[in-house]
A = this chain, B = another copy of it.
Amino acid sequence: MNGFAEILDDVRRQVPVVHSITNYVTVNDCANVILALGGSAIMADDADEVEQIAGLSAALVINIGTLNQHTIPAMLAAGKRANALGRPVVLDPVGAGASDLRNDTLARLLGEVRFAAIKGNSAEIRFLAGSAVAARGVDAGGETLVTEANLEASARMAAGLSARTGAAVVVSGPIDLVAFHDAAWAVRNGDAHMAGITGAGCMAAAATGCCLGAAPDKAAEACLCAMAAMGVAGEMAAEQLIPAGGGLGSFRTLLLDALGRLDGPALAARVQVESVF
Contact = CB atoms under 8 A, between A and B. Distances in A.
A137 B43 CA distance: 9
Contacts of A40: 136-139
A67 interface: yes
A254 B249 contact: yes
Contacts of A6: none
A52 B259 CA distance: 37
Interface stretch (A27-35, A148-156, A170-178, A264-272): A27-35
A252 interface: yes
Given A28-B28, A196-B35, A257-B246, A95 B44 contact: yes
A276 interface: no
Most-contacted residue by chain B among A31, A65, A99 (CB, 10 A) = A99
A256 B248 contact: yes
Contact of A249 (B32, B43, B56, B138): B32
Given A40-B136, A198-B35, A249 B252 contact: yes
A253 B260 CA distance: 15
Contact of A32 (B45, B197, B256): B197
A57 interface: yes
A137 B253 contact: no
B101 A49 contact: yes
Contacts of A250: 253-254, 257
A214 to B, nearest CB: 14
* Number of this chain's copies in the complex: 3
Contacts of A76: none
B32 A248 contact: yes
Interface in A1-60: 17, 23-29, 31-32, 35-36, 40-46, 48-49, 52-53, 56-57
Contacts of A49: 98-102
B48 A101 contact: yes
A42 B65 CA distance: 9
Interface string A226-258: 000000000000000000001111101111111
Most-contacted residue by chain B among A29, A57, A139 (CB, 10 A) = A139
A139 B56 CA distance: 13
Interface of A: 17, 23-29, 31-32, 35-36, 40-46, 48-49, 52-53, 56-57, 65-70, 95, 98-102, 135-139, 196-199, 246-250, 252-261
